[in-house]
Amino acid sequence: MALKRIIPCLLYDGSGLVKTTKFKNPSYIGDPINAIKIYNEKEVDELIVIDINASKQKRKPNFDDIANMASEAFMPFAYGGGVKTYDDFVKLYKIGVEKVIVNSLIQEDVEVIKKVVNQFGAQAVVACIDYKKPVFGAKAPYSYLGNKIKYSLNEYATYLANEVGVGELMLYSVDKDGTWEGFDYEVTGQILECVDIPIIACGGCGSLDDLKNVLYKTNANAAAIGSMAVYSRKGMGVLINFPARNQVIQE
């Protein structure tokens, strides 16, 4: 059985690390390089950094900052935010990013993503699906501008896996983000039945039991942790954190 990965998901606002709740009210966490040095010591499986403002501010990725982060990270490093062109992908791979996470580009120019997959392989691209429950109707994928995407969740996941050809899906629950209430096990299980590529569950992790449930009961391939990775506990101060592997094993 493939190793179940636990991945700190760090949110970057262009100058420092922040943490959001339901994608709102970012709170300053600290310097990304300091955090990465601590994660190196804790031997994390993989690291995700997402620039939450790049697409909103219509700016390119900060390649210099990303290069510094990638060079400091002793683990596989994934980056997302503001990636719009084929050249952006190429530059990110050259400076040490192993996986590029795409989101808004899927709606804006999906052919760029297909070209990257064809050139660098499916494993080099992760598609992030931000989703939430609207006032009426089923949970659905949304763009970074808050607009509902035309597909249902199942349709969107299938489209990304089978037609676009990405190597992995990151399911990011807007409603669960920063709540410490546990992952969205229902949607994670639902999407796992739709596609044959790895799934990263993201949003809501607040305990070791949450990790065990999503990795071994829902059977997600990986779990991304946000609040649990940067706070000592809910409502308490900043503490770069990561659970020991022997704490998260199948019982």
- CA angle 34–35–38, rounded 5-degree value: 90
Kindly list the distances between the CA atom of residue 203 and the CA atoms of 79, 111, 227, in Å, as whole numbers in the listed order: 17, 29, 9
CA-CA-CA-CA dihedral for 15, 31, 28, 230, to nearest 10: 140
Number of C-beta neighbours around residue 236 at 10 A: 8
d(CA 214, CA 211): 5
Catalytic residue of the set 51, 88, 130, 177: 130
Question: Is the separation of the CB atoms in 156 and 200 below 8 Å?
Answer: no
Torsions phi, psi of 220, nearest 5?
-65, 150
Helix, strand or coil, per DSSP, at residue 93: helix
Torsions phi, psi of 133, nearest 5?
-95, 120
Is 175 part of the annotated catalytic residue set? no
Helix, strand or coil, per DSSP, at residue 196: coil
Q: Is the dihedral of CA 37, 70, 17, 248 positive or negative?
A: negative
d(CA 133, CA 146): 12
Active site residues: 130
